[in-house]
Amino acid sequence: MRLPTAQSSSAGDTASYPFDGPTERLAEKYRRVREQTVALCAGLSAEDAVVQSMPSASPAKWHLAHTTWFFDEFVLHPARGQHIASDSWRYLFNSYYQSIGPMQARPQRGLLSRPPLGQVLEYRRRVDEEVGKAISTMAGDKALADAVTLGLNHEQQHQELILTDIKHLFWRNPLQPAYRDRAPAAGGRNSMPLRFLRGEEGMGRIGHAGSGFAFDNELPQHAVVLHPHALANRLVTNAEFREFIEAGGYRTPTLWLAEGWDTVQREAWDRPLYWSTDMHSAFTLDGVQELDAHAPVCHVSFFEADAFARWAQARLPTEAEWERRAMTSRSDGNFLESDVLQPRAAEADTGANPLQMFGDAWEWTSSPYTGYPGYKALPGALGEYNGKFMNGQWVLRGGSCVTPRDHIRATYRNFFAPAERWQFAGVRLARDA
């Protein structure tokens, strides 16, 4: 069974963050985002959609069902007093909400050959129909609008995961199938010199404020102290990361955090995930392609980002340094919509403005993921969305080439464990000034 291609899902939709328009806009955005998820799976067979490549990744079918369950649980159930999903489906597609009830263990999401993909798509249709009705009949209901908006932002997070997870699955298959068959980009832009741009100093404010949507972990806006520093004008490139490798970076323990070094040894890491052993090509969503020397390095763990920075006599930015700079940076970039699906070399230098702050690759920061001062988790089950993961992870900023453009903003905080590499994560250097 093949998934249908989305019908011109983005045509004419101009909704931009922050969402604050009238009810019609929400209905439109709902349709657009939901269709986009299905469209991303259009090239996948039912077989591709059921397999789980590792405990951290999920099958595409599960993503399709779980994002729908989210609306069923947090929009339809409050609005209608009942779920569309049966109890067993609610068990299967609850991700980690203990308040709601028990759930299929994450490492066992790949066992679910049933329900079949067709039934999951039918579930999507029924939920979409009901949510559509709810939006139109309950216009002005703020709780509903908030829940739908949260659901759409949640869905966009899973859109990115669908791509990261399918990339990992195809890479683990010895046949190394491509997600799509597209000729490699022209590439070959020139190298842009790395420069450090002096950052703002003193007291400043970070975190979300205003009426637009934000996750609870972006709140509240609060004061921080910025110490003298500079940020690199662009992301670290494949060529630069290759220099680190050639200089023995993966064999020099003093460059690494202790747990990072243990990981390097245990996992026998000697290059970024997806790089070929020849160090000049890599597996991409378009199959194995030559590495563009000037494109940002990607699929490195926090440990590798941190070790690279130490080798380069620099460090990673703090999230405050990053966010203050991002507020005044261009927010366009190489996102999902550019349809490149891999990081791209930076354009010609723009002087004092850093490039690639948004899109291309998530940027590891030197900030552990914790709650901001005064952080309050959402009430009820949604309080489990973010807060309970504030341990053992590091913040990433800026979105990537597989992030929907209108999903991201300067205050957005992503987070992953320091040894994870299957996300599109790269490196921006910083320095004390």
Residues found near a second copy in the complex (CB under 8 A): 1, 45-51, 53, 61, 88, 91-92, 96, 98-99, 104, 108, 110-117, 169-170, 172-175, 177, 203, 222-225, 227, 253-254, 256-261, 318, 366-368, 370-371, 373-374, 383-384, 388-392, 418, 432
Q: Please, which residue, 104 or 281, has the CB nearer to a second copy?
A: 104
In contact, 29 and 152? CB cutoff 8 Å: yes
Q: Tell me if the bond preceding 220 is cis, omega within 30° of 0.
A: yes
Q: How far is the CB of 172 from a second copy (least distance, A)?
A: 5
DSSP state letters, 2-45: BPPPP-STTTT----SSP---HHHHHHHHHHHHHHHHHHTTT-B
Nearest by Cα to 55 from 114, 100, 105 = 105
Q: Please, which residue, 245 or 377, has the CB nearer to a second copy?
A: 377
Q: Please, which residue, 256 or 362, has the CB nearer to a second copy?
A: 256
Q: Please, which residue, 102 or 351, has the CB nearer to a second copy?
A: 102
Nearest by Cα to 171 from 298, 53, 49 = 53
Q: Please, which residue, 5 or 113, has the CB nearer to a second copy?
A: 113
Give residue 47's Cα distance to chain centre: 24
Which two three-digit tokens encode residue 87?
A: 């109890």
Nearest by Cα to 395 from 288, 316, 336, 304 = 316
Q: How far is the CB of 338 from a second copy (least distance, A)?
A: 27
Q: How far is the CB of 278 from a second copy (least distance, A)?
A: 19
Q: Please, which residue, 47 or 347, has the CB nearer to a second copy?
A: 47
Q: How far is the CB of 221 from a second copy (least distance, A)?
A: 12
d(CA 340, CA 260): 31
d(CA 235, CA 341): 17
d(CA 333, CA 326): 12
Q: How far is the CB of 288 from a second copy (least distance, A)?
A: 13
Q: How far is the CB of 38 from a second copy (least distance, A)?
A: 17
